[in-house]
Amino acid sequence: MSKLKKRTVKKSGVVKKVLLGISIIFTSAVITAFLGIFLFITFIQDIPDYKELAQYKPAGITRLYDSNGRILDEYANEKRVYTKYKDIPEIVINAFIAAEDKNFFQHRGIDIMSVARASAQNVINLARNKRLIGGSTITQQVVKGFFFNSERSLIRKFKEAILAYRIEKEFSKEEILEIYLNQIYLGNHSYGVYVAAQNYFGKELKHISIEEAALLASLPKAPSTLNPYKNYNRALERRNWAIHRMEEEDFISAEEAVNAVKTPIKLSYSSIRNNKYEDYYTDAVKNELVNLFDANDIYYQAYLVNTNIDLKLQEAAQEVLKTGLRNFDKKKGWRGAVAKVDLQKESANEALKRINGAIYHDNYSLGVVTKINGTVLEITLDDGKAIQLGKDAYAWVTNSSAQLERQVKKLFKIGDVLLIDGALTQKYKIEQIPEVNGAIAIIENKSGKVLSLIGGYDFRQSNFNRATQAYRQPGSAFKTFVYMAAFEQGISPNTLVLDEPLQVDLGYGLPTWNPKNHGDKYLGLITLRTSFEKSRNLSTLRLVLGIGLDKVADIAERYLIYNSDIKPTYSMALGAFETTLLKITTAYASIANNGILKQPKLIDSVYNKDGDLLYSPNDLFCDDCDSADSRPEIGFLGRMVIDSASNYQILSLLEGVVLRGSAQRAQVLNRVVAGKTGTTNNSFDTWFIGMTPDITVGVFVGYDIPKDMGKHAQGSNVALPIFVDFFQKAKFIPDRQFDIPDSIEKRYIDQDTGQTIEGNNFVQGRKYINESFKKDAVSFEDNELGRNIDQNDGLSELSKESDSIFDFMQNSSEEESGEEVEKEPL
């Protein structure tokens, strides 16, 4: 074959190969193009709508404030305060640009150079088995935060890039930065730069320095790892890197960079979540907000809630309640160690560290008994300090000083974990957490504002609010409303009533009932005032028989003391039906407010984040608030629930309880006080509700699971001392007289006989009271109803109510006598 032919054949083969290659490339290109188009269409269909950002309204923080603008508590799923771009300092913006996206103002959502650098680095990271990096722009981070999860994949990055490009076409750079700086999570419960500035530095955003802005800008990469509270050195290193980046981008000078790097990280240990005052009051406010608004809105809508709390009263009330409960509890005796550890298996420090969080111990230190040397206890505290406790530190624990060493060895063992008070004063003593609990409610009479609400010993121990959630028997504290019903019927305080035993046949098959006064003591024929001041049961029962149970039930309903669905029985008259401390304190506050009932108000006003008023009670009244079957109806309140003369007559009797009756302990205050004690059958519940012309203070003490508090436990020596202690601390409350209405005239009466005194016909040795009478009212001598009450009339009516009276017998309240209490103090 010739050389020419060989060349032709060879050339033809090459052409065929080239054509085949071109064909393959073309086919591949077409397939790739179609595949790309298919994938692109698939991605497009699956990409979220970026226009959602235009309606971006981040969840805010609902904050509770006191009257002085202090933050009490706050609620939010994400703690964030949205800040407009114009209000974000330039130094903060520049710090984030330098640290996160130096080409932010030049690119269109995707920084090709950053992607290339990230890709090159990822090749190295893959070889070293390290985590891949992203190279995302700020716009891409916005996209990721709103539309995607933390998944790392090429598909997600592709979608992220498409969305970032679209967003850059739709929004300005400033709008994107505003969203980014408000949405980004910066660790330490900080969402957005505003909250981060508060949480880390305790500063307003406008006061942030260069080094502080650099620290914030260094956090997005790893908020938890770079948290300066936990990893100071790593946070410092990253912050200084951000400072140098700011210098490289000419955002700060070299001198400013040097000074910033030299400055240590200065952290604040006060958080934007200022929950120092989180307690029973703020929890009750939260529950009320849930009733007023949707529960989820509280965590998203950034409400501004102004409460009526008085922090000085709140703190004083919490302190005196704790003290009162401790004092009562100690009289019940020592219950022993709060825990026991084996010091042969672990050291005292290890044991205390292990159990510290598992045991509620108030503000006391935990201590382990390591040695007992005669009457001296050697103890290791939870801070590692070793102390010695002599007999003065545990005197209340022992029965007496006799055979003290033997008592000590019986009461304490090696390994006992004790509660130790005195870490600040170095005067150590053993304490214990009370088993008994209680509550205090303080109401401003004229406005109905709840100034203080203490629902228990400590909110950290138990969130159950015994002022609003615990339904207990008020006992003799309800008698106030029985006598009020009598005065409303025209009966005068000097009317005589018989305080003598009753014997009632309850009917076939039922035992004879013999109701009694406390201590089986009877005073005979006494005035209504004396009956009330001495809190006599049987004379009160005769009064109810005289005026009718329906009148008492009507009063209870008017004052909203009980739920409306309660069927009245005679047991109600002596306080056997259950109510809450807040309800009955509100009723008493209306007496101090000249008979005008105000709905108790925890909240003064609620605004949204735009400053629009959403709620303000303005003396609102709530019907059916306790009903689970109907929607509460809120209306205006400020109504007179009783005439001013009848109201003042009961108010005068309440003052008499302090002057001559069961609340004489309050005389130590040397100020105008009116009030009523209350003790239920078997001393399950003890009360004192006291009033001044300005505020009403209700105190309740009892076990959460009702049980006998002791033979001598009464409202007069359990609840009343807490009231007295409170007023001794709250000396800033004004002292003034109650107003006497024009419908009242004062006349002296003989305290024992009730006879009015004409002129100056006073007899030496007799006791007289300046009694309150309604003007033009029927005099005592002509009051036939008074005479009827003296006798046993009404017993036939009583015997017909056998079921009710049996209930009354089971639940009757104990009588309290101020004189008797003084003889047998608890």
Provide CB contacts within 8 A for 483, sequence distance 6+.
528, 532, 540, 543, 650, 653
Structure tokens at 82: 């949205």
3-state secondary structure 726-791: HHHHCCCCCCCCCCCCCCEEEEEEECCCCCECCCCCCCCCCCEEEEEEECCCCCHHHCHHHHHHHC
3 state DSSP class of 362:
coil
First to last CA, the chain: 135
The partner residues of 450 in beta bridges, in order of sequence, read 443
CA distances from 375 to 395, 397, 410 (A): 11, 13, 11
Q: Give the C-alpha separation, 247 to 28, whole Å.
A: 50
Residue pair 104/341 in contact (Cβ under 8 Å)? The answer is: no
100 a catalytic residue: yes
CA 278 – CA 334 distance, rounded (Å): 31
- Let me know: does 416 contact 407? Beta carbons within 8 Å: no
What is the rounded CA–CA span in Å between residue 626 and residue 578?
A: 13
Q: Comparing C-alpha atoms, which of 563, 559, 577, 556 is closest to residue 630?
A: 563
Half-sphere exposure of 172 (CA within 13 A, CB side): 4
Which one-letter DSSP state was computed for residue 666? G
For strands 639-640 and 596-597, give the pairing: antiparallel
Query: Among 634, 593, 232, which residue's Cα sits nearest to residue 443?
Result: 593
Query: How many angstroms separate the CA atoms of 767 and 753, rounded?
Result: 10
Alpha carbons 755 and 529: distance in angstroms, whole number = 13
**Separation CA 576–CA 583 (nearest Å):** 15
Closest residue by Cα to residue 649 from 545, 529, 765, 749: 529
Structure tokens at 619: 């003396």
Cβ atoms 582, 600 nearer than 8 A: yes
Closest by CA position to 455, among listed 326, 324, 318: 318
Q: Which of left, alpha, beta for 519 (phi over 0: left; psi -120 to 50: alpha)?
A: left
DSSP state of 813: P
Cβ-proximal residues to 644 (8 Å cutoff; 6+ apart), any chain? 594, 595, 741, 743, 744
Q: How far is 242 from 232, CA to CA, in rounded Å?
A: 15
H or E element at residue 366: strand 365-373
Token pair listed for 798: 């009583």
| Rg of the chain, C-alpha, whole Å | 39
Largest Cα–Cα separation, the chain? 165
Q: What residues does 686 pair with on adjacent strands?
A: 679, 701
Catalytic residue, candidates 476, 590, 812, 817: 476
Q: Residue 497 belongs to what H/E stretch?
A: strand 496-499
- The C-alpha atoms of residue 282 and residue 274 are separated, in whole angstroms, by 12
Q: Which of 74, 100, 488, 816 is catalytic?
A: 100
| Cα separations in angstroms, 182 against 37, 85, 108, 179, 804 | 37, 9, 21, 5, 65
C-alpha 120/C-alpha 519 separation (Å) is 94
Helix, strand, coil fractions of the chain, as percent rounded to 5: 45, 15, 40
- Our answer to whether residue 476 is catalytic in this structure is yes
Tokens of 257: 């960079």
Task: Provide the annotated active-site residues.
Answer: 100, 476
